[in-house]
Structure 1
């Protein structure tokens, strides 16, 4: 029985690279996306051109019916679900004093409600022996100014991970969160000038930004048989920033 994976936020950035990485190891992949159907189609085409199996499905991860349909698609096309990676997320950076509450609500719908909806469906429908990975941010521990609203949403993701891992006792399912540091994606570069990017790249002892490939390698390990003993953890993949 071959692996079947769902990757939300799979049309760009870390999610895109995760989808390609899991497909390269033989998984059939459902590429979830919010509003970029063309980019999701590119990911599917790249996977299928290499001999893999993939389909794309769009929609809001905060909508429980959309997420249920995503799992229905995986089961209908490929026979079940073994791996779920929830990479969908949005970020608005501003000091807490200036944060528009509408922006806060939008972040929380995707980053908290969306994470919870995907986690709930994964808990119900992952096959025994499967794995679930969510994405947080190392800023939960680093506390950079202007990240308050975003970190509030990702702190909730980390707490949810720790509880879900314990609730799935007896099913041999692992639940972990990967918390990237500064990573070279469009998501990261948005709104930053070159001086800020250079400064952040120098923060890790390894003196560079992370890459989507760095993060995908960590996620691939956590969802592999070799990584199955890691459970209920938050992995801060940030090159050593403290």
Structure 2
């Protein structure tokens, strides 16, 4: 009886699942044959992200020489507000394993507070540099693992992100890991998602202005909590809206894409 029912489900899936027989994801037909509908394997989307970070600055060096006597540790920080717009592509190679890549532009506005030793009065003077704007090119590559059971699902996404800041010779690398759990709301196409995000930035900020080389160590909280909604529309369109909040970070991400 079990084999008969399994055969009936498989036959029904072949009739109703238009992706039956597609090459990607590999071994996808084994999943489809038991009545599980997989997402289209290839996606392209518009990615937008707004984020505000508080970063502490320390270990200042100019041309390789420490200037800690002038710029003491623990007295300087920057608040960076970043807007990103990018194009993201992804492909599921296996039903549970996919890869993605992204390229885009970022505009960052920085409010910098530099603590300077006032040697005459034996205190710390503040040098405020507000509204400093930079433009960056952002590229990333990543991988995603996914698992679902009934109405529940979980994903973990890992990204290597490279940022090239124009005009100041600064290149930054980051590892971004996003574990999420979600719930499908019936057959509505809506999903509720909660989880967290780990952002491990390159801690040593290096750059060059004219002939002067500079560096500083930057630190911030690495984890933030995430919550959001995802929606699948007709014709394989999809959208997601995610908000994140952490000790030193606030952000919101919106994606709109289509699967093929």
TM range (shorter): under 0.3
Q: Which has the higher contact order (CA 8 A, sep 6+)?
A: 1
Higher CA-based Rg: 2
TM-score (norm 2): 0.23
TM-score (norm 1): 0.24
